[in-house]
Each structure stands twice: as C-alpha cells, then as structure tokens.
Amino acid sequence: MKSNRSSLSSRRAALLTLCLLPASTLLAQELELPSQEVLAKPTIEDDGYQAKRASTASKSSVALRDEAQSVQVVTPKTIEDFQVRSLDEAMKFVSGVSQSNTLGGTQDGFVKRGFGANADGSILRDGIRSSLSRNFSATTERVEVLKGPASLLYGALEPGGLINVISKKPQYQWGTRLDADSSSFGGGSLAVDVTGPIADSGLAFRLIAERQHKDYWRNFGEEEHSLIAPSLSWEGERLRLNLAYEYKEYSTPVDRGTVIINGKPAKVSYNDRFGESWSRAKGIDELLTATAEYQLTDQWSTRLTYGWNNERYDYAEARPNALNANTGDMSRRSDGSEHDNQTQYLAWDWISNASLFGQRHDLLIGADTERVDNFRGDTWRGAAVGGFNIYNPAYGNLAPPSTLNPAQSDRSDELHSRSIYAKDNWHLNDQWIVVFGGRYQRFEQLVEQGRDTAYTRPTDRTDTTFLPFGGLVFQLNDQVAFYGNYSRSFVPNVSDADTGQAFDPEEGRSYELGVKLDLPQGIGASLALFDIEKENVVVSNNNVSEAAGKVGSRGVELDITGRLSERWELLGSYAYTDTEILNDPANKGNELVNAARNIASFYIVHHLSLPEDFGQWRLGGGARYVGERAGDNANSFWLDSYTVADAFISWDSHLLGEKTRLQLNVRNLFDERYYPSSGGNLRVAVGEPREVRLSASVEF
C-alpha cells in the first residue's frame, strides 16, 4: 500500500483513541457525580424474531408503527438461530432484497427495490456510511433495513434503501461468551466476547475477538480473517460517552464464477474455478466511532457523532476476457490493483420529544459533514492469454499481475458534503402522526486519474440539492397503523472519462403506501406498495454520453415475523418488484440487472416440549425463493429462479456456566445448484452447495 493518506488517517484515528480513552475517566472525576448503581441496558428491547423499535429511520429509537417508512430488522435471535455470518445470509429474512454483482465474492452488493450495486454507499455501520467491502462481523448485534429513499438523513443514496449494521455495545453486567464452529467445507472459527463494568467508575468495556480459517468450497482457495474490537462506554447522570474500534485482517478468494453459453450457465464442473491460486483479495479494515450524548432537559438531548472507517487491500484476478462457446477455450487477463478507501463523518444532532399545545413532537435537527474518498493506486492490466479450457481446466499458465497501467492508476474519487437536516414526527392526537422533513446538502466532487503524462481530471464539480420528505401515519388502534410517504434521493454522477463532461446527479422520487400490524399474540407484519423513478441516468446515444436515462420500479412487499403460539415462531416475506428501463436508446423497456420480479421466504421454528432436565431443544427450517433475473441491461440472458432450504437444531442447557448451546445448521439442505447474481456473461456468481456447520457456545 503506497498511499500517504492511509497513514495519516491511521495516525488520526490512533490520536483520537488515545485522547478519548483518558477523557472518559477524567470526566467521571471532574463532574463528581453522585454515587449510583448503573444497571445493564439491553441494546434492543426485543429478544425474539419480531422487533418493535429501530433507530435507522429517525437516528433515535422509535416504534416501528410510528414511522411513515418501511423498516425491517434482522434481530439478534435470528442471527443466532440461523448462524448468520454475512449480510447475504441476513438478507434472506428481508423482503425485496437480492444479490448484485459482488466483484468475485469480495464485496457486499445488494439490489433493493430494483436499485443498488456493490460500493454504492448504501451500507452503514452504526449509522455511518461504510467504505468496507464486507460489513458483517462478530461485532454485529442486528441489521436494520430502511426501504425507499433515505437521503433525508443519510445524503447520497440509491432510491431503493439502505442497510444499517448495528454493533454490540458495552454492558454494565459482567458477561463472557466463547464461540466455536466447524464447517463441512473444512476449517472453522473461534471467538470471545467479554463485557462488564470497570469498578465504580461509571465505565463499561467490551472486547470481541475472532479468528476464522475456512477452506473455500470450490476446488482451491481459503477464506480467513482475524478481528479484534474493543469498545468503551461511560454513563453519568446526564452525559453518555461511547468509543468503539474494530480492526480486521482478511484474505478471500476472487472467484468470478461461471460463464453463460447459449443463454444458460455452461455445463461444467460446479466446483471448478476459472481463476488461479493467486486470485484473491487481501486487506485490512478499520473502524472508529465516538459518540457523546448529553441530556439537556427531560425533553431535549444533543449528540455529537464522529466516525471513521478505512479499508486498504490488494486485489488480483484472472479476469475472463473472451470465450469460444464451441470449444470452451477461454482467454484471461492478469488484472490487479491496490485500494485505499475511507469515510470520515461528523454530525451534531438535537433530539426532542417535546410537547407543544398538548401535541408531541419527535424532533430531530442536525448538521453533518462527510468525506468519502476511494483511491485506486497501482493498477495492473495484463494482455489476454488463451489456452484455458473450461471443460478441462489446467492451472498455472497465467502469471500474476505485473503490467502497470499508468492511465488507470492513481484514481481518486472524492465526495465531500456538508448538510443540515430536520425531521419531525408530529403527533396530532392518539391516531394521527404527520411526518415531514428536509435536507439541504452542498457537495463537492473531485475525480482524478492517471499517473505522470496520463493524468486527467474528468470531474471537478460543486453543487447543492434540497431533498424533501413528507409522510402520514394513521393508527387505527394499538394493533393497526396505516402510512404513506413521498420522498426523494440523489446520487452524484461521475463525469465522462473521455470528454470530461460533468453530468447532473441522478435523482429519485418515491411514493409509498403501507400498513403495519402488531398483534397481541406476538405477530408483527407490514405490507408496503411503492412506486420509484430515477432520472439523469447516464446513457449512450450515438456514442455520446448524456444524463437522459430514466428507470423505474414498482411493487409490493410483505414481511411477517413473530410467535404463532407458545412453541411455534415464524419468519416470512414476499416481494413483487416490476422494474423497467424507461428511457434509454438501446435498452428501453428492459428490466434492471439482478432485480428479481418475485422473492419469497418462509422459515418456522418449533420449541420441543421436553422435561427441563433435558434442556431446551429447538428445530427450525425453511426456504427462500428468488425468481429469474436479467443478467445484463440488454437482457441478453437471464438467471434462472432458485429455491434454497436451510434447517437447524439447537440444544440449550446450563451444563457449563449460565448457558451452553450446541447447534447444527445445514445450509442449502437439498444441495441446489443456483446462480445468485451476474456481472456479465463471463462473470456469473455460483451459489454455495450444501454446508453442515456445527457450533458451540458457552456464556458465564
């Protein structure tokens, strides 16, 4: 890694860490707060599959039925029972989300309501935009998914929605958890999670560490990472501080999957890769967040949030270049690059639940500044080399990347924004809530590329935008609430690399209507209907790029979770999404890439009725269906629909410590062959086969 920026950021993060750690102790001493017993606060109020509150839509904990937006939550219980280990696995339980191009399995990439891709800025870590490739880790407590445009509070985003990964926080009660698991692919992981108070100082800490080493399921390769994540909290009478840091080193295969021949995946060995042993991504992830919240009065509080995350990684792949469909001969290129991506974020929020003339206002007023900087340093682009046959692969005839391309090296894509925003959930009475807000954002976009004489600056743009939001909630009773909203979004366009022409940002608008149910039996459900359009999409017209494209999606989503009876629980979802390219000289009328028209899932869990001496036994299982999807904008090929089933059995007891759990999970129970996403006809992702995973945990 050759970027000076990464070292500066690292020093900045380290300095902030060193400053804030003693600051917490000093504050505890100087304020001389009265002695008090600080009890553990659960980070969420729900311990099952149904969540009743979330923080993503309002930047503070709000009842889901009070929000004029669709929010789904993958709870800690869901994560534990189904042994969720990635955002891909978490999204099985959320309607209307499918996988997009994952860059050879190295990045999170999702299509939400028809929109989205990898590295589109739609994944947050604790409310802060993430520049990391993979965002689910041992520190993850739950995942919140906000559907539809979310630019009101989070700025530049695709109109389909965002995914917010919420981290575990320090607790004021001692607890230690040890986890271990083993995979039928080979290898496994070990993790430890320790939390508790620090004497009577008002401080609490948490330390999470994990080591994973697992064989890749195809014919060669390994996945491994090491993680350590300390965090610290301090609570006084009015002041709350939290500091969290996460460090991860990883290595993962780059696997471009399979190819399409005559509109279908090639009839080749499901296990054979088309890459080389050096086709992998290796890197370091770092995150730092710091929050300070002060309770001004019973009704007003203010919060200062700082966030920094950085990823530095090397990427190398044997990139498929061309294929002879008759013989199976493939030419490949040795491509590689060095990356340094980071986000810096600072926000000051004022939060209130004040009453005015007998009417409650859940009010948020804030300002933020954000800098997102994606840097690609040395970039290698090799010549195409033939001699590789997909029906009888022989490895070793393609050398690792070594040909430097100065024109594509040193690409810097910076987006610096400053914003003010406000949102008010205005409770007119016990039934009606008016929700309105707006965001004014000024942004600067700079794109530079090339080294020495190949240097170019295709984008240097400053602009402003205003994003309104309006919604209405009608709570028929304690169980039923209706809502509707109008919202907008924007995403800056990158200028044309050849001409330097700057384009207006993509703009999205959305209408949404829905109903939410919170039944006394313990069942929660939501139904949403939406209509989204996005314009200023850059298209090519007679070989001239112009921001004249328009795309749209409309559909319906249903989510249901909760307890059917004392011993039965369920998680179910369904989404119908109709996407269309509305204005494009070449592709008008086509469907959007990787956007499935139909997605459905159903999982059910049963608590066995056995004597207490035998422990608690639970059985669970279900399946997810994903309909066919367009493989490219031209709709020249389609990915077939698929259904993947999962099952588990768990045993909880007090054999060791407070809780001992043994669990067996089977993924892809019926060993279905499927293809979850496409990056083009030579880059189609291959779904994992059946995997058996045995896990054990002890809490004490």
Q: Binning pLDDT at 50, 70 and 90, where does residue 236 land?
A: very high
pLDDT band at residue 255 using 50, 70 and 90 as cut-offs = very high
The span from the CA of 72 to the CA of 221, in Å, is 35
What is d(CA 501, CA 688) in angstroms, rounded to the nearest whole number?
A: 43
Residue 379 neighbours by CB distance under 10 Å:
23
Read off the pLDDT of each residue in 251-271 and give the average, rounded to a whole number.
97
First to last CA, the chain: 42
How sure is the predictor about 495, in pLDDT bands with cuts at 50, 70 and 90?
A: low
Q: What is the pLDDT of residue 283?
A: 98
Residue 102: which of 131, 72, 133, 130 has the closest Cα? 133
pLDDT of residue 117 exceeding 90, the answer is: yes
- Tens digits of residue pLDDT in 65-82: 999 999 999 999 999 999
Does the structure show a pLDDT above 50 at 408? yes
Q: Report pLDDT for 33.
A: 34
Kindly report the average pLDDT of the chain as a whole number: 91
Percent of the chain with pLDDT over 70: 92
pLDDT at 391 over 60: yes
> So what's the pLDDT on residue 358?
85
User: For residue 499, what pLDDT is reported?
Assistant: 53
Residue 34 pLDDT grade (very low, low, confident, very high; cuts 50, 70, 90): very low
More confident residue, 146 or 5: 146
pTM for the full model? Answer: 0.92
Least reliable range by pLDDT among 10-14, 84-88, 220-224, 293-297: 10-14
Give the pLDDT confidence score for residue 496 in this predicted structure. Answer: 58
Please give the pLDDT value at position 22: 37
- 597-621 tens-digit pLDDT: 999 999 999 999 888 888 999 999 9
Please tell me the distance from the alpha carbon of residue 196 to that of residue 198, in angstroms, as a whole number: 7
Lookup: tokens for 222: 């390994």
Distance in angstroms (rounded) separating the CA atoms of residues 302 and 294: 5
CA distances from 664 to 79, 602, 694, 700 (A): 14, 19, 5, 22
The DSSP symbol for 684 reads: B
Residue keyed to tokens 């800098």: 371
Other beta carbons within 10 angstroms of residue 37's beta carbon come to 6
Residue linked to tokens 């937006």:
69
CB proximity list for 478: less than 8 A, separation 6 or greater = 518
- Residues in a beta bridge with 633: none
pLDDT at 417 exceeding the cut of 90: yes
Query: What confidence tier does 521 reach under pLDDT thresholds 50, 70, 90?
Result: confident
